[in-house]
C-alpha cells in the first residue's frame, strides 16, 4: 500500500491571534522551522512523499512558502477551499487528490514525535479489521482533562466515565469513511466520527510520546522551550 498523507492547514487559528492575523497558523515557527515543515520532514523521512495540503485562510502564503514540495523531497498538491470547510468536509473536498486507498491525516496545528511509518500498519488494520478509521489517541492534556473518546479492545468508544483519551489530530482513514459527508457543507470531523464509533468501525492506538496541541501562543512557546532543551 502506497500511503498518501493529508495535512489539514485551513483553520483560521483564532486562538493564536494576533500571531495569525497576517500569517497562517501552519507557518508559525517552532525553532527554525515552520510548524507544517516539522510534519513534512517527518513524513518524508518515513517514506511518505505524496502529500495533500488544504488551505483557506491566507492559503496563498502556504503555497508560496512550500512550493511543489521538491526541496523537501515531497510532491505536494493543494486543495484550496473557497471558504473554510472544517475538517470532514475539507477532507471530502480533497478526496480526488488522495486516491482510493486509506490515507494518513495530520492536523497542522499539532507537534508530535510519532513515527509516521506506523501509518502503514494502521492502514492495513482497516482492511483486516473491517474498519473505516484508525485514530492515534494520546493521554489527556491539562486543557482537555476529560478526553474526547473512550478506548477498549483496540476500538474507539463513546466517551465514558473512565478510560478516555484525546484524539491526537492524526489518524488513517478509508475514503469510504467520508461517504456521508458533503464536500460543500462545513462539517467537523467529530460528526462522522461519532457515527462510525457507534457502529464499531473506528480502531485506535495509544501514543505516549511527546505531543502538543499548538492551540494558543502559550503552548507554542512551551513546545519551543521544550525542544530548545533537547540535546
Beta-strand (E) ranges in 125-221?
A: 133-138, 149-152, 155-157, 164-173, 202-206, 211-213
pLDDT by residue for the chain (231 residues), tens only, comes to: 579 999 999 976 566 566 666 788 889 888 888 899 999 999 999 999 999 999 987 878 999 999 999 999 999 999 999 888 999 999 999 999 999 999 999 999 899 999 999 999 999 999 999 999 999 999 998 888 999 999 998 999 999 888 899 999 999 999 999 999 999 999 999 999 999 999 999 999 999 998 988 867 677 777 777 766 665
* Residue range of the domain that includes 134: 5-228
Q: Is the peptide bond before 5 cis (omega within 30 degrees of 0)?
A: no
Residue 2 phi/psi, 5-degree rounding, is -90, 100
Nine cell digits for residue 222: 512551551
The answer to whether the CB of 132 falls within 8 A of the CB of 123 is no
- Prediction pTM value: 0.93
Total structural domains within the chain: 1
Chain CA centroid to CA 9, Å: 9
Give the CATH number, domain containing residue 152.
Answer: 3.90.550.10
Amino acid at each position: 500500500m502506497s500511503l498518501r498523507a493529508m495535512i489539514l492547514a485551513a483553520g483560521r487559528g483564532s486562538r493564536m491571534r494576533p500571531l495569525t492575523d497576517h500569517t497562517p497558523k501552519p507557518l508559525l515557527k517552532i525553532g527554525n522551522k515552520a510548524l507544517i515543515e516539522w510534519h513534512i520532514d517527518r513524513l518524508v523521512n518515513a517514506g511518505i512523499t505524496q502529500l495533500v495540503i488544504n488551505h483557506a485562510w491566507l492559503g496563498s502564503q502556504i503555497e508560496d512558502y512550500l512550493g511543489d514540495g521538491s526541496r523537501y523531497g515531497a510532491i505536494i498538491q493543494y486543495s484550496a477551499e473557497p471558504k473554510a470547510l472544517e475538517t470532514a468536509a475539507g477532507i471530502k473536498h480533497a478526496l480526488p487528490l488522495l486516491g482510493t486507498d486509506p490515507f494518513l491525516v495530520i492536523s497542522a496545528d499539532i507537534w508530535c514525535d510519532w513515527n509516521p511509518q506506523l501509518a502503514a500498519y494502521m492502514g492495513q488494520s482497516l482492511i483486516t479489521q473491517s474498519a473505516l478509521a484508525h485514530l492515534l489517541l494520546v493521554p489527556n492534556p491539562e486543557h482537555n482533562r476529560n478526553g474526547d473518546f473512550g478506548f477498549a479492545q483496540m476500538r474507539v468508544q463513546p466517551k465514558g466515565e473512565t478510560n478516555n483519551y484525546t484524539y491526537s489530530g492524526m489518524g488513517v482513514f478509508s475514503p469510504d469513511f467520508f461517504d456521508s459527508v458533503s464536500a460543500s457543507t462545513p462539517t467537523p470531523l467529530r460528526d462522522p466520527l461519532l457515527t462510525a464509533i457507534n457502529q464499531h468501525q473506528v480502531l485506535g492506538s495509544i501514543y505516549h510520546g511527546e505531543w502538543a496541541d499548538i492551540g494558543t501562543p502559550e503552548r507554542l512557546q512551551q513546545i519551543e522551550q521544550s525542544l530548545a532543551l533537547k540535546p
